[in-house]
Amino acid sequence: MYRSILTYSVLLFTVMMTAVYGGSTPQTSTLLTHVRIFDGKSNTLIKGKQVLVVGDKVAKIAAKIDVNSSTKVIDGEGMVLMPGLIDAHTHLMVVKPFDQAIYTYEPTYIAAVATEAARRTLMRGFTTVRDAGGPVMGLKRAIDEGIVPGPRIFPSNAFISQTGGHGDFDTSMTYLSSYFTGQMDKAYLFGWTYTADGVPEVRKAVREVLRSGASQVKVMGSGSITGAHDPLDVVEYTPAEMKAIVQEAKKWGTYVMVHAYSDKAVRMAVEAGVKSIEHGLMASPETLKLMKKKGVWLSTQCLNYSKNVEDFNVPMPANVAAKFNEAKKSAERVYGLAKKYGLKLAWGTDTFGSLEVQDTESDEFTARKKYFTDLEILKQATSLNGELLALSGKRSPYPDGKLGVVEEGAYADMLIVDGNPLKDILMLAKPKQHIRLIMKGGKIYKNTLQSGK
Ligand SMILES: [Zn+2]
């Protein structure tokens, strides 16, 4: 009896202290009123509801929410409240062309510029990104600790690539094979890429990447446009290597995303159990149908292929320009087919190489408009991308709430925009002008509403 009273008292004390202190810091609360809501999933706006944010989550959505004086109230002025945007394919650290970022500049310079890239990404309304490769872990840590502003990051960290594949970035004339000469490759040293060949090596590379905190594994599965050494048509890795990579990721409870252009490469990845195909432009109708059947995501980018060679600020060598034009030809076809077959489509940009190129991120909305309706695009950039990122399972860095939706229990990552994105998606291409409030995890990063003045 005495023991059970003591146990009860200790328990009660713990509950009381938790209630008082809410873990460590007292929780702030914000009530958003006078808004129309796009919840990320519905086909129409929800009217007549208020949204209460407590701490970093949406606590309640109801017609009338009573709050005390410590709650900050924001009048949304009748504008649209929507989920924060998600970009499913960024490279925040790639603020210079790959080879220069790795081999030419000081790592601290690259990190400093990438910090600014992250801030700008958030200020364009992207509250979450899936980073498709690059040593982004330190930047993510500083953002999550609230030291610098930036989006939530699902990091892939080092690319896994075969020798001579898309992740083998050294273009210098003085290149020495690391394997045969014992010369350290800076790309390994700073966690940009691991070139691994054969089943034991790829297993090791995946384990290294997962050890570094990656939420998913990024593999180079085919030739590329910008790659220094690989023609576009080549398949990288063998089915046995790809299956081993997928198996290692699965054991860790997560999934693999593969850079793949050619049909053969896409098909091999899909058959090996890869869940997210990056680019995938040359996939045949049969392969796309197989992707649909297996629930594999097509994570493609419209902006890059809406451009012409001369539109890129950086001069393109002739062989790269030829590869680009070949991929561009396939782009239109694949979007049409993906839509026809009802594939799961991610919204991503793959804008990298300089801050100026990264700054074109929001133009993806404009480029997508050629193929998809405003509502389709809006869902891709919010709830669908949220669903894709959830494939990281327990390896998600943000496992306590949903992303890409406005609903009770979801992370309070939200925007207020001064128009109806269901009818005019292009306003999201002008974030500075039209995004009036940016909230991530309950914290406000921008507010140009009356309440912010
Ligand atoms: Zn990429």
Please give the CATH superfamily to which domain 18-83+405-452 belongs: Urease, subunit C, domain 1 (2.30.40.10)
Q: Give the integer Cα–Cα distance in Å for 450 and 378.
A: 26
Residue 127: both structure tokens together: 């509250």
Compute the distance between CA of residue 272 and CA of residue 249 in angstroms, rounded to an integer.
12
In the reported structure, the alpha carbon of residue 422 is separated from the centroid of ligand 1 by a whole-number distance in angstroms of 28
Ramachandran sector of residue 397 (left: φ over 0; alpha: ψ -120 to 50; beta: rest): alpha
Q: Using the mean position of ligand 1's atoms as its centre, give its distance from the Cα of residue 373 in Å.
A: 25
- Cα(453) to centroid of ligand 1, in Å? 39
* Dist. CA 281 → ligand 1 center (Å): 13
CA nearest neighbour of 432 among 419, 420, 409, 448 = 448
Cα-to-centroid distance, 63 and ligand 1 (Å): 43
Between the CA of 70 and the centroid of ligand 1 the distance, in Å, is 44
Expressed in angstroms and rounded, the spacing between residue 38 Cα and the centre of ligand 1 is: 29
**What is the whole-number distance in angstroms between the Cα of residue 176 and the centre of ligand 1?**
25
Distance 394 CA to ligand 1 centre (A): 24
Tell me the CA distances in angstroms from 423 to 40, 81, 144, 154, 342, one per residue in order. Answer: 14, 14, 34, 30, 22
- Ligand 1 center to 450 CA (angstroms): 39
**pLDDT score for 1:** 43
Tokens of 159: 């690319």
Distance in Å, CA 261 to ligand 1 centroid? 12
Q: Say how far apart CA 400 and CA 411 lie, in whole Å.
A: 8
Neighbour count for residue 203 (Cβ, 10 Å): 17
Domain extents in the chain:
18-83+405-452, 85-372
For residues 331 and 302, the answer to whether their CB atoms sit within 8 Å is yes
**Tens digit of each residue's pLDDT, the chain (453 residues):** 444 554 445 444 444 444 444 445 568 999 999 999 999 999 999 999 999 999 999 999 999 999 999 999 999 999 999 999 999 999 999 999 999 999 999 999 999 999 999 999 999 999 999 999 999 999 999 999 999 999 999 999 999 999 999 988 888 888 888 889 998 899 999 999 999 999 999 999 999 999 999 999 999 999 888 777 888 889 999 999 999 999 999 999 999 999 999 999 999 999 999 999 999 999 999 999 999 999 999 998 999 888 888 887 677 888 888 888 888 888 889 999 999 999 999 999 999 999 999 999 999 999 999 999 999 999 999 999 999 999 999 999 999 999 999 999 999 999 999 999 999 999 999 999 999 999 999 999 999 999 888
Query: Which element (helix H / strand E) includes 46?
Result: strand 46-54
Residue with tokens 């030829």, as numbered in its chain = 322
Q: What confidence score (pLDDT) does residue 430 get?
A: 98
| pLDDT recorded at residue 24 | 52
Q: Report whether 422 contacts 246 (CB < 8 A).
A: no
Check if 18-83+405-452 and 85-372 are the same fold.
Answer: no
Residue from 201, 180, 194, 199 nearest 239 by CA: 199
Q: What angle do CA 208, 301, 105 make, to 5 degrees?
A: 50
Pick the CATH number of 85-372 from 1.25.40.420, 3.20.20.140, 3.30.413.10, 3.10.180.10: 3.20.20.140
Q: Measured in angstroms, how far is the CA atom of residue 89 from the centroid of ligand 1? A: 6
From the CA of 230, how far away is ligand 1's center (Å)?
15
pTM: predicted TM-score of the whole model, two decimal places? 0.93
CA angle 299, 300, 304 (to 5 degrees): 150
For residue 193, how far is its CA from the centre of ligand 1 (angstroms)?
Answer: 13
Angle at 74 between CA 68 and CA 78, to 5 degrees: 130
Identify the residue whose tokens are 């991503």.
348
- CA-based R_g, the chain, Å: 23
Give me the residue label for tokens 């992740």.
167
